DNA sequence: CTTGACTCTCCCCCTGGGGGATATAGTATA
DNA sequence: TATACTATATCCCCCAGGGGGAGAGTCAAG
């Protein structure tokens, strides 16, 4: 029978940790004095503690370790947990590696360009930053980078080159029917896919709303899966007529200047304003997939 | 002037986030109504918010972002912060990659060996796990893996093969002088370096205590820097005479069985017991660097 | 019996907000 | 203007894994 301090010294952990594990039901003392409340351990509990620490070393949470400590644990269950952890760790490593890469790109940019504005450093990635187009000159708000998880959009599809404002008309048709869509969130999404191999300017455009669960797809509508992606986000303020200019600025000015390349995936327009009418002060966003 | 909900919609962040940033001093509303407490923002604050989000995307904490948002920030300071972040992210990536590797090794072991005990899976890495040496047969407690940060040990050095128990004698000399060492923590460390190229069994052994800061090194003592390392930890219970057997079990049995190789670095013995006298029930630890 | 070392419980702290309760404020409609 | 609905405010608890410390009680040696 060891007092908590002795057991902690022997086990090379802190007293706080032992108390915490006891409280979490991971390692109960073999005996607790009813009168004093003192916790008593035995040396036989050391292997259990070591098992806890080994599992923690593999990245499991205390709640998961509680599951893994059960007597009835089979090798199959352990494998399942390890598989999950493997996937999780791969994502973590990938995510942090990409973040590291972004930091290193910013550092290289500073070393290469010398003194540039913080804004330039944050929102461009490389290329010829000496071409001093500020975002105000091109009519864009400073961009943002955002990684969106996968989601679904329900709405109506158009295919063509939008020569006669068919897309605006489609929104006009869709909006009165918006109540048919079990939307989550308050944004309207225009998901746009340029069609390679087609004549210039032909694209598919799905106008719709984000959904999570749905019973059926209303007549004339469809659902599209938008995969997880990282986007450069541009703000467009003003009417839809100047949208073309903003796109031109993004593609011809920002993309080559920043050294990013458009990645595969869907372009998106995200309307956060009152999406039933576009006032001249409307702000909405253009999401361009980047890698 | 926008109410918080409007600004949140336009900026594509949650109201909670804006309130949190206001509370943390990152983005104050331009105006707060004295009577109602309502926060009001302007569209001009959008670039600042985007800057905050860009910095968060690079991995900075809100406190660091508060520093980085100052008007007086120079490119040099930004570079310094990015450098720090770079180092930190590299460590994170490395650490998580190693963890991922450990998880994958365990998975491979399960696939290869089929059904083995959880203990085997946790504490071995591969090799011939069918050679059923349990740890009890070899007199070892189940091992643990531990990554120790770099630290310093102050104490006395011996060099030789310990044929006449010189090390125990050295501890006998050191212990009465232990008060001269500004030790932190309660462990005594025996830091051991096998000398390659010397005749067999000759090694350097520093007996001492962990220190953090010190004014001077007492007569006859020295300080050794122990670098950060990952160790396999073995428990030795009993007298010092059987220590040799434990070492033999580790090197001849566990290391080949587990598929680990001794890594460069220092072997260590860590005494957590009353280190002034070794009773037969003393438990202490052998730390073997592994990779 | 005293004293010092040990242990107990309880509370606050860390990150970056999310979720919810409850009380007003503002706005739109009848 | 009364009502109803939405928006906002503050306040509190929650996540993980303990660390640090206060105040009070316990244990063991001299």
What DSSP string describes A212-247?
A: S--S-PPTT-EEEEEPPEEEEEEEEES-GGGHHHHH
Whether B71 has a pLDDT exceeding 80, the answer reads no
Compute the Cα dihedral for B230, B207, B182, B279 and give only its sign.
positive
Contact A202, A241 (CB under 8 A): no
Number of neighbouring beta carbons within 10 Å of residue A280 = 9
CA–CA distances in Å: residue B113 to residues A71, A79, A85, B129: 20, 12, 20, 8
Q: Which residues of B touch A101 (CB under 8 A)?
A: none
Share of chain A above pLDDT 90, in %: 34
Query: Over chain A, what is the mean pLDDT?
Result: 83
Whether B185 has a pLDDT exceeding 80, the answer reads no
Contact B22, B32 (CB under 8 A): no
Query: Over chain B, what is the mean pLDDT?
Result: 83
- Alpha-carbon distance of A254 to A261, in angstroms, equals 10
Quickly give A5 CA vs C8 C1' distance in Å. Answer: 13
Q: What is the pLDDT of residue B137?
A: 44
Mean pLDDT for A95-99 is 94
Whether A271 has a pLDDT exceeding 90, the answer reads no
Whether B221 has a pLDDT exceeding 50, the answer reads yes
- Alpha-carbon distance of A15 to A5, in angstroms, equals 6
Distance from CA of A209 to the nearest CA of B (A): 15
Q: Which residues of A touch B68 (CB under 8 A)?
A: 118
Kind of pairing between the strands at A39-41 and A2-3 = antiparallel
What nucleotide is nearest A38 when CA is compared to C1'?
Answer: C7
Three-state DSSP state, A97: helix
Place B138 in a pLDDT band, splitting at 50, 70 and 90: very low
Between A153 and A237, residue with greater pLDDT: A153
Contact A258, A126 (CB under 8 A): yes
Place B95 in a pLDDT band, splitting at 50, 70 and 90: very high
Three-state DSSP state, B238: coil
Calculated CA dihedral for residues A255, A261, A266, A269, nearest 10 degrees: -20
Mean pLDDT for B2-6 is 92
Residues with CB under 7 A from strand D: A 14, 16-17, 20, 33, 35-36, 38, 56, 61-63; B 3-6, 8, 15, 19, 36-39
- Alpha-carbon distance of A260 to A127, in angstroms, equals 8
B51:A75 CB<8 A? no
Quickly give B90 CA vs C10 C1' distance in Å. Answer: 39
Total residues belonging to chain A: 291
Rg of chain A in Å (alpha carbons): 28
Whether B238 has a pLDDT exceeding 80, the answer reads no
DSSP state of B181: S
Task: Write down the H helix ranges in chain B.
Answer: 4-11, 15-23, 46-57, 62-68, 75-113, 118-123, 166-174, 243-248, 255-258
Contacts of B217 (CB under 8 A, 6+ apart): B154, B223
Q: What is the pLDDT of residue B133?
A: 41
| Residues β-bridged to residue A286 | A234, A269
SS3 content of chain A, % helix, strand, coil (to 5): 40, 25, 35
Q: What is the pLDDT of residue A88?
A: 94
CB < 7 A to strand C: residues 24-53, chain A? 36-39
Range from A159-163, B19-23, B122-126 carrying the lowest mean pLDDT: B122-126
Q: What is the pLDDT of residue B256?
A: 74
- Alpha-carbon distance of A221 to A206, in angstroms, equals 9
Most confident of A27-41, A263-277, B148-162, B226-240: A27-41
> Nearest Cβ partner of B100 from A86, A107, A270?
A86
Strands lying side by side in the sheet with A151-160: A144-148, A229-237, A283-289, A267-271, A183-194, A203-211, A151-160, A222-226
Range from A114-118, A207-211, A214-218, A243-247 carrying the lowest mean pLDDT: A114-118
């Amino acid at each position: 029978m060891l007092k908590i301090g002795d057991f902690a010294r022997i086990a090379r952990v802190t007293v706080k940790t032992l108390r915490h594990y006891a409280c979490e039901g991971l390692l109960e003392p073999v005996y607790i004095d009813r009168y004093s409340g003192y916790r008593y351990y035995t040396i036989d509990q050391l292997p259990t503690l070591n098992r806890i620490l080994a599992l923690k070393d593999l990245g499991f949470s205390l709640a998961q370790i509680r599951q893994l400590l059960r007597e009835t644990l089979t090798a199959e269950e352990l494998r399942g947990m390890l598989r999950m952890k493997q996937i999780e760790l791969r994502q973590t490593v990938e995510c942090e590696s990409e973040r590291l890469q972004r930091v290193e790109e910013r550092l290289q940019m500073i070393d290469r360009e010398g003194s540039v504005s913080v804004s330039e450093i944050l929102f461009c990635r490389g290329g010829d930053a000496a071409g001093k187009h500020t975002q105000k000159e091109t009519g864009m708000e400073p961009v943002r980078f955002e990684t969106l998880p996968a989601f679904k959009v329900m709405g109506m599809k158009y295919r063509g080159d939008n020569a006669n404002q068919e897309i605006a008309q489609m929104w006009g048709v869709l909006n009165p029917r918006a109540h048919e869509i079990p939307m989550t969130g308050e944004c309207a999404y225009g998901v746009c896919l340029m069609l390679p191999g087609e004549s210039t300017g032909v694209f598919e455009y799905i106008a719709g709303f984000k959904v999570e669960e749905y019973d059926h797809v209303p007549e004339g509508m469809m659902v599209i899966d938008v995969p997880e992606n990282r986007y450069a986000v541009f703000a467009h303020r003003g009417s839809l007529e100047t949208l073309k200019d903003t796109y031109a600025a993004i593609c011809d000015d920002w993309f080559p200047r920043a050294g990013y390349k458009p990645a595969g995936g869907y372009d998106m327009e995200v309307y956060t304003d009152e999406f039933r009418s576009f006032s001249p002060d409307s702000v909405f966003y253009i999401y361009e997939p980047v890698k």
